[in-house]
Homo-oligomer: A and B are copies of this chain.
Amino acid sequence: MRTPRIDLPVAEMPRRWYNLAADLPVPPPLGPDGKPIDPAALTAIFPENIVEQEVSTERWIEIPEEILEILLRWRPTPLRRAYALERHLGTPARIYYKDESVSPAGSHKPNTAVAQAWYNRQAGVKRLTTETGAGQWGSALSFACSQVGLGCKVFMVRISYEQKPFRKVMMQTWGGECVPSPSTETRAGRAILEQDPDSPGSLGIAISEAVEAAISDGSGETRYSLGSVLNHVLLHQTVIGLEAKRQLELAGETRPDVIVGCAGGGSNFAGLANPFVPDVMAGEPIEIVPVEPEACPTLTRAPYAYDHGDVAGMTPLLAMHSLGHTFVPPTIHAGGLRYHGMAPLVSAATAEGLMHPRAYGQLQCYEAAVTFARTEGIIPAPETSHAIAGAIDEALKAKASGEPKVILFGFSGHGLLDLKGYEAYFAGELENYPLPEEVLARSLAVLEGLPRPDRS
């Protein structure tokens, strides 16, 4: 009998995170003066233990036991063999997907949410602020804060808040508070609303609000938490790839030929792919493919530059592919992929030619999602559908060439809170939003005058 699932025993749960920064140095964050910032300057936003991880170049970092105890509720997650999808496509490829949808919040996000909440509590912090796009991150952090006993306030991108009305209730059930962004609670939010009272919001705006809310809280007991982009966030996600590597071995595979994942801020993607990057550096023929929406083509059409992580320019300058920090992408349903920048580690790996990004329109992604639901049985998040579209393309290429390629893709989350997007898709109401040249050019203008990363 064929087993569609490769489980890893609890005893084989990874005990260490893998830090790609040890093998792929990234240019340092810069302050307003254009000089590398002193890590101590970050402690207004993050606690010291997190800042330490953010700048660490240690290859392996031990996972504290109390964090493991919480992660073990759903980890190791299943690696699944997509027999039904393979049969439907008639491909000789062997398709595997790492299923992060089994977490309580339904995505990969709790991997870092639990770690960040725990480190903050260790540092004496009492509550966290954050932003969320599609709501996956805000839900995950609300869940994590309930587990370690912290308060949680979430600024949710307004368009997603309206598209996904139950995300707020989900956060509330875990004790979190969720407000639509831009809000009137911060100076950053009020400034946006003055210019555009109907602003759909963006991750860049919501980050500005959450950072401001953390810094301006007089108690000193509030810090900010980011769900993607930064090194320490990607670090916490590497359990995904470390488990997948071992599970592929158990399935009898030498290595994946192709690794596909969706990339918004880059954390789910890097969590799966980063543990394989040293193999690529060592010459293994593994193609690593981040997939992004053509409505927000950060890796495929934006330069590798220094830019702010938020719209108000409150964060340090990060070396990353960026569409410009004032870019507000069209309101596609994959809210988690609507970010102007990309994780410095993923950006550097792409700039070095270690990753080969690709962009798709949302119609192709929804088509792939429905095919997946009707074969493999799990309803994907709109973000995840980008990875599926990429994997299907690779499987069809393998069919055309007759090669039995091993495809590994990241199933970052389920879409049970995102059914409104499916409803619109079935009703024929969705369209693609390829980014027009002139909009791109206007958006990239904010990068002029900012420093460029040294790629020598």
Contacts and interface: CB of A to CB of B under 8 A. Distances in A.
A10 B2 contact: no
B416 A379 contact: no
Given A104-B377, A104-B378, A147-B377, 12 more contacts: A1-B65, A4-B69, A5-B72, A7-B7, A7-B10, A166-B416, A166-B419, A169-B420, A169-B426, A170-B379, A172-B426, A173-B419
14 contacts: A3-B72, A4-B73, A73-B377, A84-B147, A102-B102, A146-B374, A147-B377, A166-B419, A166-B423, A170-B416, A170-B419, A173-B370, A174-B379, A416-B416
Nearest to A426: B172
B7 A377 contact: no
A456 to B, nearest CB: 46
A447 interface: no
A40 interface: no
A127 interface: no
A243 B169 CA distance: 33
Contact of A166 (B74, B84, B420): B420
Given A9-B7, A10-B3, A73-B80, A173 B422 contact: yes
Interface residues of A, number: 43
Contacts of A373: 146, 173-174
Interface in A1-29: 1-5, 7, 9-10
A106 interface: yes
A192 to B, nearest CB: 28
A426 B174 CA distance: 12
A426 B177 CA distance: 12
Most buried by B among A2, A73, A106: A73
A184 to B, nearest CB: 22
A143 interface: yes
A175 interface: yes
Contacts of A375: 146
A51 interface: no
Interface in A384-431: 416-417, 419-420, 422-423, 426
A12 to B, nearest CB: 11
Nearest to A373: B173
Contacts of A170: 379, 416, 419
A68 interface: yes
Interface string A341-369: 00000000000000000000000000000
Interface string A109-148: 0000000000000000000000000000000000100110
B420 A146 contact: no
Which are the 5 A-B pairs with shortest beta-carbon distances?
Answer: A166-B419, A104-B377, A169-B419, A146-B374, A169-B423
A169 B84 CA distance: 22
